[in-house]
């Protein structure tokens, strides 16, 4: 096959190299860092998908040998999970390997994988002629869901995969999770139909503690008493391997919002005691302390809690070197509440304000710094200015909307109302 024909064939294939997954380097590093917190041992039905995405990210970062190793791990993971040497679940993986060898200037190896793809597609054709194989829909859906992008497309892709192959429990669970994510910004909460879908998915997938915790959270939001059920799930979570989808994070959210922040801290600390080297748990514990300290006066904190919180947050910053902004902001918020570390909070903010950040990250920083100036430094005028800085970046985000709401409230209270009113009238619409 000629090089030109081979290139045309590759470009027509559905896989990570053709799914428009290119991202700036900082985002790729962050994604890789987060993937490291996902469990990849036996029992995770998405192991193959995880290694495929991880391999693609390593390729984009320039680590081609790591990429090849991870793509090969993906193939082994699929064989282990599906208990079969080959099947349609390998199509995306083989296409990734075909692309990788093409970029490495190895046309024979690339063509060998394309031939394997052709053989698989002949042996395992799509159930319908005008649609892709459900395995391809499911893997692309999982990938986009992990990236937290285009959730309407994720929902559509999972829906197609489940319709074509309804016996795949993990696909249906992920379909429901994608529906929940798509509704996350709804002011009215989840409707009865989606709650019923969650309940049914939970019955089909009883070992999925992440889904169980999310379902419990929705019941709590509706006013149901969930304390006993939460503690039952907590016992299971504590016995489970640690990862970002073990259910610990949504369960801690249930505790902090509907039971007790102190009990959330105790649960997180107990998990960390069982797995003292797990950085993801340190991140969860630190977050619980942050919520406690920000919402409480120092006189109401347990002895040593402030020091423990600071120590954990400092460690988390060092453990996640490629996602420092939010974690440094959390650390600054803790410093700001400490009688002995307020100067350190200002140091962190000034360091971040002088750094080169993407627009969305600048919005987050300006919004957080504005709140710090108002609530911790009693500097109302500078706070207003930084809320304006966040709002004037024409990119849609929670932090932009939060700053706009703050400015509107300040205007209605008669403070700097002329300046704020003029600013809001001239505000540009966000670009995304």
Q: What percent of the chain has pLDDT over 70?
A: 95
Name the more confident of 202 and 245.
Answer: 202
Place of tokens 């869901």: 145
354-364 pLDDT, tens digit per residue, is 998 989 899 99
Most confident of 295-299, 332-336, 339-343: 332-336
State how far the alpha carbon of 336 is from the alpha carbons of 63, 188, 314, in Å.
Answer: 40, 34, 14
Place of tokens 């304006």: 388
The residues, ordered by sequence, that sit 6+ positions from 1 with a Cβ below 8 Å of its Cβ are 9, 107, 111
339 pLDDT more than 80? yes
CA nearest 407: which of 385, 429, 426, 428?
A: 385
41 pLDDT more than 80? no
CA–CA distance, 431 with 206 (Å, rounded to integer)? 42
CA–CA distance, 143 with 141 (Å, rounded to integer)? 5
CA–CA distance, 76 with 93 (Å, rounded to integer)? 10
Q: Has domain 136-356 been given CATH number 1.25.40.10?
A: yes
For 315, counting Cβ atoms within 10 Å of its Cβ (0-12 exposed, 13-18 middle, 19+ buried), the class is middle
**pLDDT at 395 (0 to 100):** 87
**pLDDT at 288 (0 to 100):** 95
Pull the structure tokens for residue 275. Answer: 């797995």
Tell me which DSSP letter residue 62 carries: T
Least confident of 147-151, 281-285, 289-293: 147-151
Kindly indicate the confidence band of residue 298, based on its pLDDT and cuts at 50, 70 and 90. low
106-140 pLDDT, tens digit per residue, is 999 999 999 999 999 999 999 888 899 999 999 99
Q: What percent of the chain has pLDDT over 90?
A: 74
**pLDDT at 431 (0 to 100):** 61
**pLDDT at 10 (0 to 100):** 81
| Homologous superfamily of 3-125 | Tetratricopeptide repeat domain (1.25.40.10)
CA nearest 360: which of 30, 34, 52?
A: 30
CA–CA distance, 248 with 221 (Å, rounded to integer)? 18
**pLDDT at 1 (0 to 100):** 46
262 pLDDT more than 60? yes
Pull the structure tokens for residue 351. Answer: 């360091």
Based on C-alpha coordinates, what's the Rg of the chain? 24
251 alpha carbon, distance to own chain's centre: 16
CA–CA distance, 294 with 371 (Å, rounded to integer)? 12
CA–CA distance, 426 with 340 (Å, rounded to integer)? 42
Taking residues 207-231, report their average pLDDT: 94
312 alpha carbon, distance to own chain's centre: 21
Q: Could you tell me if 313 and 330 are in contact, meaning their C-beta atoms sit under 8 angstroms apart?
A: yes
CA–CA distance, 271 with 284 (Å, rounded to integer)? 10
For 372, counting Cβ atoms within 10 Å of its Cβ (0-12 exposed, 13-18 middle, 19+ buried), the class is buried
Transcribe 108-153 into DSSP letters: HHHHHHHHHHHHHHHHS--SSTTS--HHHHHHHHHHHHHHT--HHH
147 pLDDT more than 80? yes
> Hey, is 182 helix, strand or coil?
helix
CA–CA distance, 117 with 13 (Å, rounded to integer)? 10
Q: Could you tell me if 242 and 209 are in contact, meaning their C-beta atoms sit under 8 angstroms apart?
A: no
155-176 pLDDT, tens digit per residue, is 999 999 999 999 999 999 999 9
**pLDDT at 150 (0 to 100):** 85
**pLDDT at 426 (0 to 100):** 87
Q: Could you tell me if 313 and 327 are in contact, meaning their C-beta atoms sit under 8 angstroms apart?
A: yes
CA–CA distance, 412 with 410 (Å, rounded to integer)? 5
Taking residues 185-205, report their average pLDDT: 81
């Amino acid at each position: 096959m000629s090089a030109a024909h081979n290139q045309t064939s590759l470009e027509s294939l559905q896989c990570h190299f053709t799914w428009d997954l290119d991202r700036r380097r900082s985002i790729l590093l962050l994604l890789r860092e987060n993937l490291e917190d996902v469990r990849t041992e036996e029992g995770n039905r998405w192991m193959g998908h995880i290694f495929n995405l991880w391999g693609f990210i390593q390729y984009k970062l320039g680590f081609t040998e790591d990429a090849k190793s991870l793509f090969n791990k993906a193939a082994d993971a699929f064989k282990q999970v599906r208990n079969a040497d080959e099947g349609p679940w390998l199509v995306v993986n083989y296409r990734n390997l075909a692309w990788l060898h093409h970029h490495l200037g190895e046309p024979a190896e690339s063509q060998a994988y394309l031939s394997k793809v052709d053989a698989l597609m002949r042996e395992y054709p799509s159930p319908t002629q005008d649609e892709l194989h459900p395995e391809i829909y499911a893997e692309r859906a999982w990938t986009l869901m992990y990236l937290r992008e285009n959730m309407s497309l994720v929902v559509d892709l999972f829906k197609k995969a489940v319709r074509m192959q309804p016996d795949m429990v993990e696909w249906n669970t992920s379909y429901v999770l994608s529906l929940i994510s798509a509704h996350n910004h709804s002011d009215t909460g989840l409707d009865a139909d989606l709650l019923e879908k969650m309940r049914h998915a939970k019955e089909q997938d009883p070992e999925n503690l992440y889904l169980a915790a999310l379902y419990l959270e929705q019941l709590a939001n509706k006013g149901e008493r969930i304390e006993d059920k939460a503690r039952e799930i907590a016992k299971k979570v504590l016995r489970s391997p640690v990862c970002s989808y073990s259910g610990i994070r949504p369960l801690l959210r249930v505790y902090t919002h509907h039971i007790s922040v102190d009990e959330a801290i105790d649960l997180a600390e107990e998990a960390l005691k069982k797995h003292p080297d797990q950085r993801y748990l340190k991140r969860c514990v630190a977050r619980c302390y942050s919520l406690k300290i920000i919402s409480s006066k120092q006189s109401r904190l347990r002895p040593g809690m402030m020091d423990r919180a600071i120590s954990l947050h400092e460690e988390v910053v060092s453990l996640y070197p490629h996602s420092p902004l939010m974690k440094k902001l959390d650390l600054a918020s803790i410093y700001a509440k400490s009688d002995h570390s307020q100067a350190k909070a200002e140091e962190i903010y000034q360091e971040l304000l002088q750094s080169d950040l993407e627009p969305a990250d600048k919005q987050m920083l300006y919004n957080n710094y504005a709140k710090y100036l108002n609530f911790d430094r009693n500097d109302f005028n500078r706070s207003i200015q930084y809320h304006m800085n966040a709002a004037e970046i024409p990119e849609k985000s929670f932090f932009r909307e939060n700053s706009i709401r703050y400015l509107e409230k300040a205007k209605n209270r008669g403070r700097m109302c002329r300046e704020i009113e003029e600013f809001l009238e001239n505000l540009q619409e966000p670009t995304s």
